[in-house]
Homo-oligomer: A and B are copies of this chain.
């Protein structure tokens, strides 16, 4: 069923919206109360193009939260089970963020500027409110706010070629989940090798929205012969790659271990993580359910609008939370949460889709 989106100031435009709409965006979602493109040509066309060429993505919805002050690093470590003690000043860390009960509040990327200054590049929840509430409640010496920073992603196999034309050959030296500050016009941006696809690429943290359209235009002008196109996180490609979506594949009902984020849950000595107590119990006992890749063979299914129950006979043993037809793997690729009793690789279950029951095969590994 197709529905229009009603625009209003509350669904915020981004510094690149003018460019996104000039390029003919067809559909939007709303993410952090901001517009996020979902389709330019078709999800399948965009998918094939992403795997072959290079795309420019307006991911301003990855709003930044700045932690600034003497207690910034203490506060950051309070938020996450991941040990940040050895993190260097040019690193980006994927960090599960939990509440005091060890439940997921967000799964952002933390960017360390220095011991007294961090950015948190957030998934879809008002994490600012949690961080600020905690800091104010504890009387910590740190300012917490949303700076004027809007990430623009460049993704796909030709990303490095395109970015070299804008920022110079030095972009090739940026290591995975590291960043360098690169000059653009009379300013400079933090450029990280990261992004929400498995095709390689960069995220440019555009400080000051006025530079948004100049950068957007420069990328399209420089990339014409590389077949550069506008793009956006691609539903098919991100499921194939097992890239989780907060709000779709997990939410405040879930723990990091349920999300398979074990390697980020090995707190160091004297760990201050606010969810430490419950997480320690779960680490000892193991989680009750886990996110798994799920293959649903047969004809193409429409994307999931709600969780689809996973059944073993009459018993509900999990749910599918994201699904899309994969042209490359010729199956419906899906992400779900499966109980321990049925999460073994190769387990066959039934998924109740809006188009009827279908066979669902639990997989330990994602496709790409």
A6 and B126 form a contact (CB under 8 A): no
Answer whether residue A197 sits at the interface, using C-beta atoms and an 8 A cutoff: no
Answer whether residue A215 sits at the interface, using C-beta atoms and an 8 A cutoff: no
**Which residues of B have CB within 8 Å of A138?**
137-138
* A154-184 near B? 1/0 per residue, CB < 8 Å: 0000000000000000000000000000000
Q: Say how far A329's CB is from chain B's closest CB, in angstroms.
A: 21
Among the listed B7, B99, B247, B252, which residue makes an inter-chain contact with A305, where contact means beta carbons less than 8 Å apart?
A: B7
* A1-44 near B? 1/0 per residue, CB < 8 Å: 11111111111010000000100011111110100001100000
Q: Which of A102-135 contact B (CB under 8 A)?
A: 105, 124-135
A30 and B3 form a contact (CB under 8 A): no
Answer whether residue A254 sits at the interface, using C-beta atoms and an 8 A cutoff: no
**Which residues of B have CB within 8 Å of A130?**
129-130, 132-133
A interface residue numbers (CB < 8 A to B): 1-11, 13, 21, 25-31, 33, 38-39, 99-100, 105, 124-139, 146, 245-248, 252, 274, 303-307, 321-322
20 contacts between A and B (CB under 8 A): A3-B4, A3-B5, A3-B25, A3-B27, A4-B26, A6-B27, A6-B29, A8-B245, A9-B304, A10-B246, A11-B29, A30-B30, A99-B132, A99-B136, A126-B129, A129-B129, A133-B137, A134-B134, A136-B137, A146-B252
